[in-house]
Amino acid sequence: MTVPDAVARTQLAEHVARIVRRRIFDGTYATGEYVRLDQLAAELGVSVTPVREALFELKAEGLLAQQPHRGFVVLPLTGRDLADVSNVQAYIGGELAARAAANITDEQLTGLRRIQSDLEAAYAAGDDERAVRLNHEFHRAINVAADSPKLAQLMSQITRYAPETVFPRIAGWPQKSNRHHRRLISALAKRDPELARAAMSEHLAAGAKPLIEHLTALGVISSPDGEPASGH
Protein backbone atom coordinates (compact mmCIF):
# COMPACT_ATOMS: atom_id res chain seq x y z
CA MET A 1 0.00 0.00 0.00
CA THR A 2 1.71 3.13 -1.21
CA VAL A 3 0.34 5.64 1.31
CA PRO A 4 1.41 3.69 4.44
CA ASP A 5 4.78 2.96 2.81
CA ALA A 6 5.28 6.66 2.13
CA VAL A 7 4.33 7.57 5.69
CA ALA A 8 6.65 4.92 7.10
CA ARG A 9 9.53 6.17 4.93
CA THR A 10 8.92 9.76 6.06
CA GLN A 11 8.93 8.69 9.72
CA LEU A 12 12.14 6.73 9.15
CA ALA A 13 13.76 9.73 7.46
CA GLU A 14 12.81 11.91 10.43
CA HIS A 15 14.29 9.33 12.80
CA VAL A 16 17.57 9.30 10.84
CA ALA A 17 17.59 13.11 10.79
CA ARG A 18 17.25 13.17 14.60
CA ILE A 19 20.21 10.80 14.93
CA VAL A 20 22.45 12.85 12.63
CA ARG A 21 21.32 16.13 14.23
CA ARG A 22 22.19 14.74 17.66
CA ARG A 23 25.61 13.62 16.44
CA ILE A 24 26.33 17.08 15.06
CA PHE A 25 25.39 18.74 18.34
CA ASP A 26 27.30 16.30 20.55
CA GLY A 27 30.45 16.56 18.44
CA THR A 28 30.37 13.04 17.01
CA TYR A 29 30.28 14.62 13.54
CA ALA A 30 32.74 17.50 13.48
CA THR A 31 32.63 20.60 11.30
CA GLY A 32 33.97 19.73 7.85
CA GLU A 33 33.37 16.00 8.28
CA TYR A 34 31.48 14.11 5.59
CA VAL A 35 28.41 12.09 6.50
CA ARG A 36 28.62 9.04 4.26
CA LEU A 37 25.21 8.00 2.98
CA ASP A 38 25.98 4.32 2.33
CA GLN A 39 27.93 3.95 5.55
CA LEU A 40 25.18 5.51 7.67
CA ALA A 41 22.49 3.39 6.00
CA ALA A 42 24.47 0.23 6.73
CA GLU A 43 25.12 1.27 10.32
CA LEU A 44 21.43 1.97 10.98
CA GLY A 45 20.22 -1.04 9.02
CA VAL A 46 18.02 0.97 6.65
CA SER A 47 17.96 1.63 2.93
CA VAL A 48 19.74 4.63 1.47
CA THR A 49 16.45 6.34 0.52
CA PRO A 50 15.38 7.54 4.02
CA VAL A 51 19.00 8.42 4.81
CA ARG A 52 19.20 10.57 1.68
CA GLU A 53 15.91 12.25 2.58
CA ALA A 54 17.19 12.90 6.11
CA LEU A 55 20.40 14.46 4.87
CA PHE A 56 18.49 16.72 2.48
CA GLU A 57 16.30 17.77 5.43
CA LEU A 58 19.40 18.68 7.43
CA LYS A 59 20.75 20.54 4.42
CA ALA A 60 17.55 22.61 4.37
CA GLU A 61 18.10 23.35 8.07
CA GLY A 62 21.59 24.65 7.34
CA LEU A 63 23.41 21.94 9.27
CA LEU A 64 24.82 20.19 6.20
CA ALA A 65 25.97 21.24 2.73
CA GLN A 66 26.03 19.05 -0.35
CA GLN A 67 29.34 18.93 -2.20
CA PRO A 68 29.31 17.71 -5.83
CA HIS A 69 30.66 14.15 -6.14
CA ARG A 70 31.59 14.12 -2.43
CA GLY A 71 28.35 14.01 -0.47
CA PHE A 72 27.13 15.89 2.60
CA VAL A 73 29.49 17.85 4.82
CA VAL A 74 28.86 19.27 8.31
CA LEU A 75 28.68 23.07 8.29
CA PRO A 76 30.12 25.29 11.04
CA LEU A 77 27.83 26.08 13.96
CA THR A 78 28.33 29.42 15.70
CA GLY A 79 27.27 30.88 19.01
CA ARG A 80 25.44 33.56 17.06
CA ASP A 81 23.37 30.85 15.34
CA LEU A 82 22.24 29.40 18.66
CA ALA A 83 21.61 32.82 20.22
CA ASP A 84 19.42 33.75 17.24
CA VAL A 85 17.42 30.52 17.59
CA SER A 86 17.03 31.11 21.33
CA ASN A 87 15.78 34.67 20.81
CA VAL A 88 13.17 33.58 18.28
CA GLN A 89 12.09 30.71 20.54
CA ALA A 90 11.75 33.11 23.47
CA TYR A 91 9.54 35.47 21.47
CA ILE A 92 7.21 32.86 19.96
CA GLY A 93 7.21 30.68 23.07
CA GLY A 94 6.29 33.68 25.19
CA GLU A 95 3.32 34.44 22.96
CA LEU A 96 2.17 30.81 23.07
CA ALA A 97 2.44 30.77 26.87
CA ALA A 98 0.41 34.00 27.12
CA ARG A 99 -2.34 32.48 24.98
CA ALA A 100 -2.20 29.26 26.98
CA ALA A 101 -2.74 31.22 30.20
CA ALA A 102 -5.99 32.58 28.76
CA ASN A 103 -7.21 29.17 27.56
CA ILE A 104 -5.80 26.45 29.79
CA THR A 105 -8.24 24.14 31.55
CA ASP A 106 -7.93 22.60 35.00
CA GLU A 107 -7.48 19.22 33.34
CA GLN A 108 -4.61 20.55 31.20
CA LEU A 109 -2.98 22.10 34.26
CA THR A 110 -3.19 18.78 36.08
CA GLY A 111 -1.56 17.07 33.11
CA LEU A 112 1.18 19.70 33.00
CA ARG A 113 1.94 19.24 36.69
CA ARG A 114 2.11 15.46 36.19
CA ILE A 115 4.56 15.85 33.30
CA GLN A 116 6.72 18.17 35.39
CA SER A 117 6.74 15.73 38.31
CA ASP A 118 7.83 12.92 35.98
CA LEU A 119 10.45 15.21 34.41
CA GLU A 120 11.99 16.04 37.77
CA ALA A 121 12.12 12.34 38.59
CA ALA A 122 13.85 11.61 35.27
CA TYR A 123 16.44 14.32 35.94
CA ALA A 124 17.04 12.95 39.44
CA ALA A 125 17.51 9.45 38.05
CA GLY A 126 19.93 10.67 35.39
CA ASP A 127 17.64 9.35 32.66
CA ASP A 128 18.58 11.88 29.99
CA GLU A 129 16.57 10.30 27.19
CA ARG A 130 13.36 10.28 29.22
CA ALA A 131 14.04 13.81 30.48
CA VAL A 132 14.37 15.09 26.91
CA ARG A 133 11.10 13.43 25.93
CA LEU A 134 9.23 14.74 28.97
CA ASN A 135 10.61 18.25 28.53
CA HIS A 136 9.33 18.17 24.95
CA GLU A 137 5.93 16.97 26.22
CA PHE A 138 5.83 19.80 28.78
CA HIS A 139 6.31 22.49 26.16
CA ARG A 140 4.02 20.77 23.69
CA ALA A 141 1.24 20.68 26.30
CA ILE A 142 1.49 24.44 26.70
CA ASN A 143 1.46 24.94 22.94
CA VAL A 144 -1.66 22.77 22.66
CA ALA A 145 -3.36 24.82 25.40
CA ALA A 146 -2.54 27.99 23.44
CA ASP A 147 -4.88 26.75 20.68
CA SER A 148 -2.81 28.49 17.99
CA PRO A 149 -1.83 25.72 15.56
CA LYS A 150 0.12 27.83 13.06
CA LEU A 151 2.17 29.52 15.78
CA ALA A 152 2.81 26.15 17.43
CA GLN A 153 3.91 24.76 14.06
CA LEU A 154 6.41 27.60 13.67
CA MET A 155 7.73 26.87 17.16
CA SER A 156 8.10 23.19 16.28
CA GLN A 157 10.12 24.05 13.17
CA ILE A 158 12.40 26.40 15.10
CA THR A 159 12.96 23.81 17.83
CA ARG A 160 14.64 21.54 15.27
CA TYR A 161 17.57 23.98 15.37
CA ALA A 162 17.82 23.76 19.16
CA PRO A 163 19.83 20.78 20.44
CA GLU A 164 17.34 19.62 23.08
CA THR A 165 19.28 16.42 23.76
CA VAL A 166 22.25 18.39 25.10
CA PHE A 167 20.49 20.25 27.93
CA PRO A 168 20.32 17.44 30.54
CA ARG A 169 24.13 17.22 30.42
CA ILE A 170 24.71 20.94 31.05
CA ALA A 171 25.85 21.43 34.66
CA GLY A 172 23.12 23.06 36.75
CA TRP A 173 20.59 23.32 33.93
CA PRO A 174 18.12 20.63 35.12
CA GLN A 175 17.72 22.39 38.46
CA LYS A 176 17.34 25.80 36.84
CA SER A 177 14.90 24.46 34.26
CA ASN A 178 12.76 22.87 36.98
CA ARG A 179 12.52 26.21 38.79
CA HIS A 180 11.52 27.92 35.54
CA HIS A 181 8.87 25.29 34.81
CA ARG A 182 7.35 25.57 38.28
CA ARG A 183 7.20 29.35 37.92
CA LEU A 184 5.55 28.93 34.54
CA ILE A 185 2.95 26.50 35.91
CA SER A 186 2.17 29.02 38.66
CA ALA A 187 1.62 31.78 36.08
CA LEU A 188 -0.64 29.53 34.02
CA ALA A 189 -2.62 28.54 37.13
CA LYS A 190 -3.22 32.24 37.83
CA ARG A 191 -4.45 32.62 34.22
CA ASP A 192 -2.07 35.60 33.95
CA PRO A 193 -0.98 35.99 30.28
CA GLU A 194 1.76 38.55 30.89
CA LEU A 195 3.26 36.61 33.79
CA ALA A 196 3.23 33.45 31.65
CA ARG A 197 4.78 35.31 28.71
CA ALA A 198 7.61 36.62 30.88
CA ALA A 199 8.22 33.25 32.54
CA MET A 200 8.42 31.37 29.23
CA SER A 201 10.50 34.02 27.45
CA GLU A 202 13.02 34.15 30.28
CA HIS A 203 13.18 30.35 30.44
CA LEU A 204 13.89 29.91 26.74
CA ALA A 205 16.35 32.82 26.58
CA ALA A 206 18.23 31.64 29.68
CA GLY A 207 19.34 28.43 27.99
CA ALA A 208 21.40 30.14 25.30
CA LYS A 209 24.48 31.12 27.33
CA PRO A 210 25.05 27.78 29.13
CA LEU A 211 24.32 25.90 25.89
CA ILE A 212 26.87 27.94 23.94
CA GLU A 213 29.47 27.51 26.70
CA HIS A 214 28.84 23.76 26.83
CA LEU A 215 29.08 23.26 23.06
CA THR A 216 32.16 25.49 22.87
CA ALA A 217 33.86 23.32 25.50
CA LEU A 218 33.02 20.26 23.38
CA GLY A 219 34.50 21.93 20.31
CA VAL A 220 31.15 21.80 18.51
CA ILE A 221 30.70 25.56 18.14
CA SER A 222 32.79 27.53 15.70
CA SER A 223 33.57 31.23 15.73
CA PRO A 224 31.46 33.53 13.51
CA ASP A 225 34.03 33.39 10.71
CA GLY A 226 33.74 29.61 10.60
CA GLU A 227 37.00 28.73 12.32
CA PRO A 228 36.78 26.07 15.03
CA ALA A 229 36.54 27.39 18.58
CA SER A 230 39.94 27.97 20.18
CA GLY A 231 41.51 25.02 21.89
CA HIS A 232 39.79 22.42 19.69
pLDDT over threshold 90, residue 99: yes
Percentage of residues of the chain with pLDDT beyond 90: 74
* C-alpha–C-alpha distance, residues 78 and 207, integer Å: 15
Instruction: Tell me the domains of the chain and their CATH numbers.
Output: 2-75 (1.10.10.10), 79-213 (1.20.120.530)
Name the pLDDT band for 224 (thresholds 50, 70, 90).
very low
Model confidence at 230, in pLDDT bands (50, 70, 90)? very low
CA 123 – CA 169 distance, rounded (Å): 10
d(CA 8, CA 12): 6
Query: Considering the entire predicted model, what is its pTM?
Result: 0.82
